[in-house]
Amino acid sequence: MTALAELSPLEQSYDQARQKFEHIIEYLDSKESSAMTHSELERALEKKGRELMRMLLQEHLDNRGPGQCDQPVCGQGGQERSRMRLQKRKLETVFGTVSVERAGYGQEGTESLHPLDAELNLPDERYSLEMRRRVAEEAAKSSFDETLESIGKNTGGHVPKRQIEELVLRAAQDFDAFYQTRQALPGEGQGAGSVLAISVDGKGVTMRTQDLREQTRKAAEARTHKMGTRLSKGEKKNAKRMATVAAVYTIAPFVRTPEELVGDSSCPPSRPATPPSGAKACLG
């Protein structure tokens, strides 16, 4: 009886990834890896690990099946797609390229629908959403050339520079709408409530020696005094504690225009003065 025959159906479905994992174990025990430095072994293992992840993802997609539907598949207009055929597409992921076989439902004169694409939330293009996220994050920090280099070094996928530029443009297409949503007030149409504000400040205050913290007090007692009634310059070290004052209050919302913000600096914009409703002071 072969080893494969002894595996459960689930284990057999991931047989290629299992074999890849065994090859990695053999590689780690080989003379080649024993002759490597730690950095060389780390890079080699990372590359092999990405390929193992790609194979696991590929076999998982294969095991999910093409996403055939028992119920009729209809488009937004209600037209039923009665013709089904299996269609493959390539998907560029952070582990590398995988293929997805899915059932496409169509009708003459209509675009095919793929229920598995919706189930997996796959984008229309070749690049996975996770790959698109990596590209957008890298492009926000550096140039397109540096993004190309970073994606090549840190993922198993490949995205040409032109496609990187297109992905970044599409990632920013909802920028304005996103911030309009963020600026919307809760309960729109109702009066806005007051704004809760907090203000905190601190100041070092010279203390009596016996009121200092123990470690600071010992340092203060060990110093020598140059003057009899006051501390001279340089002697104020180890003589203070921090007094912290915090004020918490509410204030009515107010809006300032750009003209008020960039206007004459000698005439600051008016601001409603609301006395604090509570304040707290403590010694640190």
Average pLDDT score over residue span 227-239: 66
Q: Which residue has the higher pLDDT, 257 or 272?
A: 257
What digits encode the pLDDT tens for the residues 80-138? Answer: 788 888 989 999 999 999 999 998 888 877 788 888 988 999 998 899 999 999 999 99
- pLDDT bin (cut points 50, 70, 90) of residue 42 is very high
**Lowest-confidence range among 137-141, 235-239, 272-276?**
272-276
- The C-alpha angle with vertex 9 and arms to 6 and 13, in degrees rounded to 5, equals 110
**Lowest-confidence range among 29-33, 205-209, 229-233?**
229-233
**Lowest-confidence range among 126-130, 179-183, 184-188, 191-195?**
184-188
What's residue 37's pLDDT? Answer: 95
**Cα(110)–Cα(116) distance, integer angstroms:** 18
177 alpha-carbon distance from chain centroid:
20
What's residue 281's pLDDT? Answer: 46
pTM of the prediction?
0.58
**Cα(40)–Cα(48) distance, integer angstroms:** 13
What's residue 187's pLDDT? Answer: 55
Average pLDDT score over residue span 140-153: 92
Helix or strand or coil: residue 242? strand
Computed over every residue of the chain, the mean pLDDT equals 82
**Cα(232)–Cα(137) distance, integer angstroms:** 55
What's residue 279's pLDDT? Answer: 47
- pLDDT bin (cut points 50, 70, 90) of residue 207 is confident
**Cα(150)–Cα(132) distance, integer angstroms:** 13
Q: Which residue has the higher pLDDT, 190 or 33?
A: 33
DSSP string, 57-93: HHHHHHHH-----SSPEE-TT--EE-EEEEEEEEEE-
The H or E element spanning position 165 is helix 161-171
